[in-house]
Amino acid sequence: GEDVEQSLFLSVREGDSSVINCTYTDSSSTYLYWYKQEPGAGLQLLTYIFSNMDMKQDQRLTVLLNKKDKHLSLRIADTQTGDSAIYFCAEGKAAGNKLTFGGGTRVLVKP
Amino acid sequence: GAVVSQHPSWVICKSGTSVKIECRSLDFQATTMFWYRQFPKQSLMLMATSNEGSKATYEQGVEKDKFLINHASLTLSTLTVTSAHPEDSSFYICSAQMGLAGVRETQYFGPGTRLLVL
């Protein structure tokens, strides 16, 4: 079956870079996503990458995909206190567009 | 653009009662809506997928008679938790997309509804 794994927690100092890692098992995944969830709120789509891409950059966010190792990472440059949240990676397929979420990584940014 | 709302944002009810949660796409027509459930400190679990005007498709292990989903219009889907019990207490999140399930579309998530059953 499909499985998406993430580390539980990441602590980072304000201004440093954060790197959140994710591994998945389904090689037929078409799209891989990063979502942000703030306390008591729904999910905000941060970025996504198509499975035939290696890297995608969007302002402070850089997504790296190693399809061979089924490893996805999200790098946040110049991390701010407002970046403190839970970050979910998710994999999806074109057919059905069902998303399978990882367990989420809680990021705490210290001033 | 692409805003999804949920109502209510939180609800407390007695065991045995039914609770209806609404999910609305405010500025787009949502052909497909998804309902997720999230337990504390856990990830989102997909409960069901609904296309406007047709019956919802439920994930394995989700009781369709307990979690009634109606997607009667292109901007509204409802989830009714029937005869709620304390174990149904959870955070329910909906998402909506413009296209049909089967075509990659961005899912826009609602803010969630926190249900507490006493």
User: DSSP class of residue A84?
Assistant: -
**B106 CB neighbour count, 10 Å cutoff:** 15
- Partner-chain contact A40 B114, CB within 8 Å: yes
The token pair at B3 is 């805003």
- What residues of B are in contact with residue A1 (Cβ under 8 Å)? none
Task: Find the chain A residues whose C-beta atoms sit closer than 8 A to any C-beta of B.
Answer: 30-31, 35, 40-45, 48, 88, 92, 94-104
CA distance linking residue B66 with residue B43, whole number of Å: 21
Per-residue pLDDT of chain A (111 residues; tens, 9 = 90+): 568 999 889 999 999 999 999 999 887 878 899 999 998 788 888 998 988 889 999 999 999 999 999 999 999 999 999 999 999 999 987 655 778 899 999 999 999
Is B43 within 8 Å of A31 when comparing Cβ atoms?
Answer: no
3-state secondary structure of A89: strand
Residues of B in contact with A92 (CB under 8 A): 104
- Give the per-residue pLDDT at B99: 65
- pLDDT confidence of residue A62: 97
Compute the count of residue pairs across chains A and B with CB atoms less than 8 Å apart.
59
Is residue B93 within 8 A of residue A99, CB to CB? The reply is: no
Residues 6+ apart with CB under 8 A from B60: none
User: In B, which residues are within 8 Å of A42 by CB distance?
Assistant: 4, 6, 93, 109-112
Count helices and strands (H / E) in chain A: 0, 11
Quote the pLDDT of residue B41.
77
- Nearest-Cα distance to chain B for A46, in Å, is 11
Strands A4-6 and A55-58: unpaired
- pLDDT single digits (tens) B39-66: 887 888 999 999 888 889 999 999 999 9
Ranges of residues in chain B whose predicted pLDDT is under 50? none
